[in-house]
Amino acid sequence: MFLSVKGLTKAFGELEVLKDINLDIEEGNILAIIGPSGSGKTTLLRCLNVLEVPNKGEFTFDDGFKVNFDKPMRKKEITELRRKSGMVFQSYNLFPHKTALENVTEGPLIVQKRPKSEVIELAENILNKVGLGDKMNLYPHQLSGGQQQRVGIARALAIKPQLMLFDEPTSALDPELVGEVLKVIKDLANEGWTMAIVTHELKFAEQVSDQVIFMDEGQIVEQGPPEAVLRSPQKERTQQFLKRILNPE
């Protein structure tokens, strides 16, 4: 078990966005999180690296690191939790004043203070891997959406996280650019990365994931292997959601 989440609760003011979420992520597994907008799936992902601080609950990692959110977090806990995961955003959020290479080296160089020659080699390797070896010195505005998102993935990989988080990584892309980003994620899957992906691409979720979670109104409605949740869902809400996505009228 890489990470075990227990009793995770998050509210924005009066509005409860996550209600008592329990969840296990196995080492090397890929978790796909699906559900209608406003179901809390993005908030769940953001809680995993404390971009949102949960109100209640507990994370337990396989190395014994444990965070309990019932009391205020210490800075050290936040730092350690963030080190464990890399985040890929829907709108990329690249640093516009830095080149693709500088976007990728920023974390290892400035935060982790690793030696410069080592970091540049690492960043070049990662950018080559995501197919941007020839674009390293371009600025984000000189790249297409798909290329920008691949830089986003490279930036997250460079901090050597144990868990990769993807928040609707292809939702902002033109349809013809979706494939190149999904391919990079599939490559990572084949390398054995542990990942959690919020997505609307059901076919992709089915192909790549080991476990699917369907969320609605801040709760996990159904979870299981992709063929079970996506092909023969047991709960009515899951069935309705899938029907609406597959046959939009």
What tokens appear for 212 in the block?
A: 């699917």
In the complex, the smallest distance separating the C-beta of residue 111 from another protein, rounded to whole angstroms, is 4
- In whole angstroms, give the CA distance from residue 86 to residue 51: 12
**SS3 label, residue 16:** strand
> Would you count residue 19 as binding another protein (CB under 8 A)?
no
For the segment 29-58, give every residue that binds another protein (CB under 8 A).
49, 51
- Alpha carbon separation from 115 to 86, 110, 118, 147 (Å, rounded): 20, 10, 5, 27
Contact region with another protein (CB under 8 A), list: 54-62, 152-160, 200-208, 230-238:
152-160
**SS3 label, residue 246:** helix
Contact region with another protein (CB under 8 A), list: 31-39, 139-147, 188-196, 237-245:
139-147
In the complex, the smallest distance separating the C-beta of residue 143 from another protein, rounded to whole angstroms, is 10
- CB within 8 A of 193, min separation 6: which ones? 28, 30, 164
**SS3 label, residue 100:** helix
- Residues 163, 84: contact at Cβ < 8 Å? yes
User: Which CB, 172 or 228, lies closer to another protein?
Assistant: 172
In the complex, the smallest distance separating the C-beta of residue 41 from another protein, rounded to whole angstroms, is 17
Q: Residues 53, 74, 79, 133: which binds another protein (CB under 8 A)? A: 79
Which residues are near another protein by CB under 8 A? 49, 51, 79, 82-83, 85-87, 89, 91, 93-97, 106-107, 110-112, 139-141, 155-156, 158-159
